[in-house]
Chain A
């Protein structure tokens, strides 16, 4: 479904990603593990078109994403839930969600989508008329996920959904994403720096260090290999 080949990208003159290749298959939950500052976010932002790659190729269902605009990439079905949630602070929860369905196709189905999102995250229904800036950290995370789900996404890219949350909330967030993946049938590509969160969630794992994939495999094998994880993640 998603195929990244020899991707090179960075900021200005400095290259952050050195020839990254990875793949997400239909319905899979793939996790990108790696310490902070090693290129996870850069990789995800390049896939969604916020950063132009300097070399390499990104394909999604046979379409080449690497020279599309972010809007075209969303229309193709790749939707990115950014690190730190980035809600629209002065819009209400409902308005935030509606903006997730901005593109015409999704906009037509916004009512059904809204029901689905409210069902998955009942707290958002309670808060629907509140300004997004008044939400708690956990609610903001739910809003970011819900806003992403308002689109016609087929691949959901999630950047560090555990960031800054209390452990019980991290568990809940991962449960939700697991449901979205397994019950909702959306493929997921997720980045995290902590291997503890992803047991029982991930199908496959890539280890990213210094802008290169250093190891990959099924989640089962990778998470058993404590020596490897300790070496890279500490």
Chain B
């Protein structure tokens, strides 16, 4: 019983975090048809901004989290306007956008290394304290992380499905030609999507810095899990991505609790491979014609 609670609780925590990371990745894929390989580095930008603000400048937690999201969004804005806009809509976009992602990612990672050094850092929790159910320890910090993640996922889903701009993002993702003919400025939409996606990655990075240690490798790990979730859920599908995030989160957590931590990652990958054999376009995969 205690193991079960532990596993479910862990799954929800992982799922929320994977969801935030993966949703950003899937939005970019849906709108721009680009696999943003700099996504993990944007996460790292959020992590280090939050750490610097909280520990060096003694900024309170909430504004620090917001600023981390804004900071990552600004980097995303720069990436779009300085590099991606130049190759947008031209032949070779597929490879070109991958290269931009790798390049920007490396530049960010190395800048962070030069600025903050290689040493692992600690971030204080959002809210200290724990709650015990039997021998299961529920960390208040984790609950806040989950709450922030869930709130941002819900808000983003509402924005996408209800607002004029959100619908325009979907329209551009599904049928860019027709969207242009409705007067939707596609380039502006791409820019907005990039900023939202980067902000989500930054916020995830900042939140998780309170859970894990602050280190350079965490960006790559987060990116890897986001990629698994996105592929599993079906690239470009918002609903699929959120489902997949919690499914993968729970799977990882159950494997950890019942079979040991070493089995989690191989197990998740094995599951993903089996899934792709059965449903090549993912859980809610929409194929080429239907996106987002």
Q: How far is the CB of A113 from chain B (nearest CB, A)?
A: 13
Find the A residue at minimum CB distance from B188.
A71
A99 and B181 contact, CB distance less than 8 A: no
- A-B contacts, 15 of them at CB < 8 A, read A48-B181, A50-B180, A70-B181, A71-B183, A71-B184, A74-B182, A87-B175, A88-B175, A88-B178, A88-B179, A89-B174, A99-B171, A99-B179, A102-B171, A133-B290
Which candidate, A75-83, A175-183, A189-197, is the interface stretch facing chain B? A75-83
Chain B nearest CB, measured from A79 CB (Å): 7
Least Cβ–Cβ distance between A136 and chain B, in angstroms:
17
In the bound complex, what is the Cα–Cα distance between A39 and B78 (angstroms)?
39
- Please, which residues of chain B bring their CB within 8 A of the CB of A87? 175, 178
Contact of B117 with A by CB under 8 A: no
Whole-angstrom CA separation of A48 from B170 in the bound complex: 22
Size of interface on A: residues with Cβ below 8 Å to B: 28
Q: Tell me the count of chain B residues lying within 8 A, CB to CB, of chain A.
A: 21
B interface residues with partner A (beta carbon < 8 Å): 164, 167-168, 170-171, 174-175, 177-185, 286, 289-292
Task: Report, nearest first, the 4 A-B pairs whose CB atoms are least far apart.
Answer: A74-B183, A86-B178, A70-B180, A103-B183
Return the chain A residue nearest B91 by Cβ: A12
- Inter-chain CA distance A78–B141, complex, in Å, is 55
CB distance from B136 to the nearest CB of A (A): 41
Residues of A within 8 A of B289 (CB): 89
Contact of B177 among A82, A90, A100, A102 (CB under 8 A): A82
B106 to chain A, nearest CB (A): 33
B175 in complex: contacting residue of A48, A69, A89, A100, CB < 8 Å: A89
A91 at interface, CB cutoff 8 A: yes
Q: Are A90 and B291 in contact (CB under 8 A)?
A: yes
CB-based contact B167/A91 at 8 Å:
yes
Cβ of B248 to closest chain A Cβ, rounded Å: 23
A86 near B175 with CB under 8 A, answer yes
A98 with B290: CB separation less than 8 A: no
Q: How far is the CA of A90 from the CA of B173 in the complex (A)?
A: 10
A147 to B184, CA, bound (A): 13
Complexed CA–CA distance, A91 and B173 (Å): 11
Q: A70-B180, A91-B167, A147-B182 are in contact. List 11 more A-B contacts (CB 8 A).
A: A48-B181, A49-B180, A50-B181, A69-B185, A74-B182, A86-B181, A90-B170, A90-B286, A99-B168, A99-B184, A102-B182
